[in-house]
Amino acid sequence: MTDDDANAPWLIVGLGNPGPEYAGNRHNVGFMVADLLAERIRGKFKRAQKAQAQVVEGRMGPPGPANRRVVLAKPMSYMNLSGGPVTALRDFYKVPTAHIVAVHDELDIDYGVLRLKIGGGDNGHNGLKSMTKSMGPEYHRLRFGIGRPPGRMQVADFVLKDFSSTERKELDHFVDRAADAVECLVTEGLERAQSAYNS
């Protein structure tokens, strides 16, 4: 990474589906984390000029060298078309791919467990599949565990259902921890964030 890249902004993308009917879905946990991060940097989402997305611009981290310029984004294109808006935002804000973080739900991890990594496959996640198709796989991911569907429930039905009442009791805590993990990644780097938050 060049010095220019090191000073470039970070693009933090919460993956989800737009519209009130999807707001509480497991598939929308990326939006929930993005909303909390926007609150923390005291910003309000507004329509992006150059992409089908809502964005907030601000700064993250303590004053000094660890303070980072960030763009928080929620694609408004539906999950399986996320790559287009993210690529448009990357180009508009001149963000290196290694400064992009996708926050998304993950079926293969227990509920509330977090995993941070860079690169890798999409594991059948349509939002990641679309992003990788548009710009390659070398972006960061914060995987937020939602667990597997119970019994014979189809995966598509499970991810498009709201969190259960039992899950909702801990949801705020887990979303808060996920937002902490993103802040740690952006201000202190992947290795530090992984050792603190990969459970």
Catalytic residue check, 104:
no
**Residues in the chain, how many?**
199
Q: Do residues 101 and 139 touch, judged by C-beta distance below 8 A? A: yes
Q: Do residues 155 and 125 touch, judged by C-beta distance below 8 A? A: no
Question: Hey, how many other C-beta atoms are within 10 angstroms of the C-beta on 196?
Answer: 16
Task: State which amino acid sits at residue 164.
Answer: S
Question: Hey, how many other C-beta atoms are within 10 angstroms of the C-beta on 191?
Answer: 10
* Active-site hit among 27, 99, 125, 140: 27
**Cα gap 4→49, rounded to integer Å:** 24
SS3 label, residue 54 = strand
Residues with active-site annotation: 27
